Structure 1
Amino acid sequence: MSLEDRHALVLGANGFIGRHLVLALGQAGVRVSTANRSRESYQRLVRWLAERGHDQVPADLRVDFTKASLLDGECDDITEIYNCAGAYRFGMSVDEARRANVDTVRAVVAFAARLPNLHRLVQVSGYRVGGQDPASWSEEYRRQTYRALGAYEASKAEADAVFQGMATELGVSWSIVNPASVIGDSETGESDQYLGLASNVKDLWQGSLPALPGTGQTFVPVVAADYLARFMTQLPMDTATQRAAYWLLDDDTPALPDLLTLVAEHYGTKAPRTRVPVPLLKRLPRWLTKADPETLTFLSTDRYPTESAHAFAARHRLAMPDTTTTIRRWADHLAAHRFGDAPAGDRRFTKPGGIRTFELGEAGAPTVVLPGLPVNADTWAPVVAAVGHARAVDLPGLGMSTGRRDDWRAWLTSLVTEAGARHLVGHSIGAAAAVEAATAHPCAVDQLTLVSPFFLQMHPPRTARWTPMTRWHLRRTTPTALAERLTGTTDHATALQSAVADLRRGTVAATTARLLAATANSQWRADLRAKLQRYPGRVHIVTGSHDPLTVEGQSLLDTLPHATVTVIAGAGHQPQLTHPEDVAQAIGEQTTFPGPQGGPGVRTVRERPR
């Protein structure tokens, strides 16, 4: 069968594996149709493909697994079917799991048997459930399996048996892939699966994993999503793969405790020292382990028959990506997207000055926002999006970045001399960082925009200097309480959920408390004012009318030849929360400066009514 003759149908195309498969098939030049439950789900798939530079739109066929016809549309020229449909979810009832994972297989095989030009039906099974013997699945055996494994894993095992038995009986040419835990794309780390192993990684990130599950022999293997997809696209072209099952995983995946320790080291956090053997873990109450009982069956010392998959990959020159690198990229993607809690957008970790740094917005954009306290880059996301060609980065030790105050110099140097930051937008404590970077490297920074620059405003209250109490309070605050404290209203609690989550993680609250205390240091404030006076570039100050500059601060700006001031009516110290549109407009404006006749000290004040 030539490439031009291939017409692939993908079921479950909107799932994690299905999307990567559609992309891989399209990149290989295969004509693709996708079975979708609704027009909306199809459009989501098309957008996902387009975002990855693939504009070859697959055909849209409507699927209904309860109908004998299965699909609406012309299907006679389909040459291969990939069944990625089903439910990956713990806590299902037996009936629900069987409808999602067993009944769909019956429908797909029956449909495949009616197609006149079908060369291959490829089924996605699983590394723990593959290799079932269809003859052994009596009613009693089925009941025992569901009791032992739980609804999800048992339904996948039954589906594997049903698929083999029914496809063989109906004369359908078939292949099975049994992937291990499918983690992110090997290049980008992208994944939107947050069950299973990803939930352990989330606990590590949040510092809520009390102990490492398993021992040095506990094996939870992984495979990259894009490698799995490329492997699957080759199966119909190889006659040797008929009625064959392939276990896809890296045999050298670190033992589970070592894998989690690897991720912890990458995150810059401490992995728990205690290891809990699986037999003990299964005996502990769920309220203590916080683990779904169905997931515990995956904690095993078993090994799997991967020889045939390795031989197939070698035959087709498929190189498995380095698993350690893929794990790190996957862990980055999970954290950057807050394990599914973050809004869609361009989010990543970078390493200016060797400091692991979170940033959002356009990579390499010249306008860079340095957030204040006790907020983070996420609170600036609406402003960054509105400004365009901008990004926001968490300062060292704050938000989702590692590091500490001592890292500022090297970090800022790298940010402005290597990472392309030309216009620094510093908010509150970020204004201090912006001034230090600009005066250290005046030729690298074209413009400063200082939003609520604390060193030109009133001193903070005395309580800000009580670092232990501030740290204790910040680690225990809620989004509602923080919103009321920062803005005087609870309206912005949702926007502060990520900031509160960051304050509860690691040493972020302690770093925040120390920096808050430092803002009261008169010597530092004077030093920052002196540095600002020496900066030769353009300076734009943005303040809220409820958070004005001091007389001293206003007098300093009067001495600067290229300084402008924007006052946002009704705003306080956190205008990005209360007045994001006004802040974005102020940042994005092209400031015009007076001619020579104006002389130094000319200042423009623009009041922005609400």
Structure 2
Amino acid sequence: MSAGDRHALVLGATGFVGRHLVLALGQAGVRVSTAGRSHESYRRLARWLAEHGHDEAPADLRVDFTTPSLIEGELDDVTEVYNCAGAYRFGMSADEARRANVGSVRAVVAFAARLPRLRRLVHVSGYRVGGQDPRPWSEEQRRETYRALGAYEASKVEADAVFQSEAERLGVPWSVVNPASVIGDSVTGESGQYLGLASTLRDLWRGGLAAVPGNARTFVPVVAVDYLARFMTLLPVDETAERASYWLLDDDTPALPGLLALVAEHYRVKAPRARVPVAVLKRLPRRLTKADPETLTFLSSDRYPTGSARAFAARHGLTMPDTATTIRRWADRLAASRFGDAPAGGRRFTGPGGVRTFELGQPDAPTVVLPGLPVNADTWAPVVAALGQARAADLPGLGMSAGGRDDWPSWLTALVTETGARHLVGHSIGAAAAVEAAAAHPDAVDRLTLVAPFFLQARPARAARLLARRYLDRVSPRALAERLTGDPAHAAALHSSVEDLRRGAAATAARLLAATASPRWRADLRAELTRYPGHVHVVVGSRDPLSTEGRALLDTLARATVTVIAGAGHHPQLTHPEEVARAVALGTRPRGREPFSPSGRSARSRG
């Protein structure tokens, strides 16, 4: 059967596995229809597919698991059905879990039995629950299973048995995939799912994982979502896959302690050495373990029958991607998205000068924002979004970037000579980095926008410098907002900055803050700025003005302009993001030497 003769119906298409399956089917040339609960969820799926290069949206159908018909519409030419529907959620009641995962399976099999051209019904089960005896369960067996495993896993076990028994009873040709923990795309690391193993990586990233659960043999295998999706697309065209179940995972996945050590090394955090046996975890209160009791059944040393899946993949020329590389890429995407707390898209880790660097915004955009102290690139996200062709990058050792002050020369060189950075927007300490980059590579940097450049302003108070490290290690978002802006209402915008400070950025921030008072460094920066031949645009808040010396220096520069944002302080990106975006955009165009406001009107500095 050629791809052009295939018509796939995907249930649960808006979920993690489902949307990657729709993408893989589309890439294989298969016509796809999706059945979802709402048009809004379909629109989100269509947008996601378009963002991933699949512009031909699948047909949009409604599914209702409470009705006998299940799906309305002309589906007589459907050749394959993929059941990715169900609830992946811990803490459900037994009745809720059975409705979501067992009742839905019954309905799907009954629906598939009515399709005249059906070649295969593919069901997504799980590596811990697959391969069940399809004989009907007794009430006693059901009670014992749900009590032992918890509602979610027990419902998946029962669903696996029900799927096989109902498909056999109704004569439906079937295949089952039993994937391990499904992690991100093997190329991009993209996931969008933050339960299970991802939550353990979140604790590791944030320094909250005191011990590894289980023992040295605990095996939590993984599989890349794109590999799983491609495997599934091949099942309907292989007659030997009918009435077969396949365990999809990498047998060489490191045991859990090794897996976490791999990610810890990549994250540059300490891997926990202590281990807590599962039996002990089950007895400890949840407030201490911070683990849902239902997840503990996945902490096992069991191995799984993967031979048939490996043979199937080899027969079709499908190669499993390197698992260690996939884990690292997945870990990067999880951290870049702050484990789901940050808006999706436009967030990544890069490596200019060999330094692991966090960026947000448009990749390779010519305008690059270098954030100040003690905040991170996230505080500049609204400005970057308003600018469009722009990005923000955490300086080495700050925000989510690795490295430190010694990495500036090589890092800045790579930034401006290899990544296309032509317009540097430096804020506070970032202004120093921008000037140093422009001084070292004047032909590569077209213009500078310096926001609150400390070396053109008054020196910081000595008390603030001395207290910086201890303060930054413990400060709350609310207290930091009051300190930086005078208004605790900006606390939400500083949550991620506080998280980064507690992860280790506080030490680098404190050292750099102390260095800002150095007369020699301030003088060197002013001298380098004087020698820079390009356009210089300085942006300051009226409450954080230029010093007399700084104003005098700018008056000597023929191609320098100044914007004063009324009512702003040292962090205008937090309090006046729209005005900052307009100022940065205006600063990309040559103007006269008269200071100007973000609206373009002439304005004198207030200090």
Residue of structure 2 in register with 1:525 after alignment? 522
2:597 partner SS: strand
Supply the distance in 2 between the matched residues of 1:491 and 1:282 (Cα, whole angstroms): 41
2:135 partner SS: helix
Supply the distance in 2 between the matched residues of 1:561 and 1:277 (Cα, whole angstroms): 70
Percent of residue pairs identical:
76
CA contact 1:134–1:165 (8 Å) conserved in 2: yes
Residue of structure 2 in register with 1:598 after alignment? none
Q: Does residue 450 of structure 2 align to residue 453 of structure 1?
A: no
Q: Does residue 553 of structure 2 align to residue 556 of structure 1?
A: yes
Specify every segment of 5 or more residues in structure 2 that has no aligned partner in the other structure, as ranges: 602-607
CA contact 1:360–1:391 (8 Å) conserved in 2: yes
Residue of structure 1 in register with 2:544 after alignment? 547
Specify every segment of 5 or more residues in structure 1 that has no aligned partner in the other structure, as ranges: 595-601
Q: CA deviation at 1:386?
A: 1.0
Q: Does residue 533 of structure 2 align to residue 536 of structure 1?
A: yes
CA gap of 1:27–1:591, structure 2 versus 1, over 3 A, is closer
Residue of structure 1 in register with 2:604 after alignment? none
Name the TM-score, length of structure 2 as normaliser: 0.97
Residue of structure 2 in register with 1:484 after alignment? 482
Q: CA deviation at 1:392?
A: 0.2
Q: 1:566 aligns with which of 559, 563, 567?
A: 563
CA contact 2:362–2:389 (8 Å) conserved in 1: yes
Q: Does residue 176 of structure 2 align to residue 176 of structure 1?
A: yes
CA contact 2:582–2:598 (8 Å) conserved in 1: no
Supply the distance in 2 between the matched residues of 1:253 and 1:411 (Cα, whole angstroms): 34
442-451 vs 475-484, which deviates more? 475-484
Residue of structure 1 in register with 2:302 after alignment? 302
CA gap of 1:352–1:313, structure 2 versus 1, over 3 A, is same
78-87 vs 416-425, which deviates more? 416-425
Residue of structure 2 in register with 1:345 after alignment? 345
2:564 partner SS: strand
Q: After superposition, what is the alpha-carbon deviation per residue over 1:223-245, rounded to whole angstroms, capped at 9, x for unaligned? A: 00000000000000011111100
Residue of structure 1 in register with 2:62 after alignment? 62
Supply the distance in 2 between the matched residues of 1:82 and 1:98 (Cα, whole angstroms): 20
Q: CA deviation at 1:437?
A: 1.1
Letter in 2 for 1:431: A
Supply the distance in 1 between the matched residues of 2:29 and 2:333 (Cα, whole angstroms): 29
Residue of structure 2 in register with 1:199 after alignment? 199
CA contact 2:583–2:597 (8 Å) conserved in 1: no
249-258 vs 108-117, which deviates more? 108-117
1:344 partner SS: coil
Q: CA deviation at 1:160?
A: 0.2
Residue of structure 2 in register with 1:599 after alignment? none
> How many pairs were matched up?
600
Residue of structure 1 in register with 2:595 after alignment? 605
Residue of structure 1 in register with 2:605 after alignment? none
Letter in 1 for 2:538: I
CA contact 1:569–1:608 (8 Å) conserved in 2: no
Q: Does residue 465 of structure 2 align to residue 475 of structure 1?
A: no
Q: CA deviation at 1:592?
A: 5.2
Q: CA deviation at 1:578?
A: 1.1
CA contact 2:477–2:498 (8 Å) conserved in 1: yes
Residue of structure 2 in register with 1:584 after alignment? 581
Residue of structure 1 in register with 2:227 after alignment? 227
Q: CA deviation at 1:453?
A: 0.3
509-518 vs 376-385, which deviates more? 509-518
2:8 partner SS: strand
Supply the distance in 2 between the matched residues of 1:436 and 1:274 (Cα, whole angstroms): 45
Q: CA deviation at 1:287?
A: 2.0
Q: CA deviation at 1:277?
A: 2.9
Letter in 2 for 1:63: V
Supply the distance in 2 between the matched residues of 1:511 and 1:2 (Cα, whole angstroms): 59
Residue of structure 1 in register with 2:251 after alignment? 251
CA contact 1:113–1:170 (8 Å) conserved in 2: yes
Residue of structure 1 in register with 2:159 after alignment? 159
2:359 partner SS: strand
**RMSD, aligned CA:** 1.4
Supply the distance in 1 between the matched residues of 2:589 and 2:508 (Cα, whole angstroms): 38
Letter in 2 for 1:321: P
Q: After superposition, what is the alpha-carbon deviation per residue over 1:91-146, rounded to whole angstroms, capped at 9, x for unaligned? A: 11111111111110011011111111111100000000000002262211111111
456-465 vs 18-27, which deviates more? 456-465
2:383 partner SS: helix
Supply the distance in 2 between the matched residues of 1:120 and 1:294 (Cα, whole angstroms): 32
CA contact 1:182–1:225 (8 Å) conserved in 2: yes
Letter in 1 for 2:88: Y
Q: Does residue 501 of structure 2 align to residue 515 of structure 1?
A: no
Name the TM-score, length of structure 1 as normaliser: 0.96
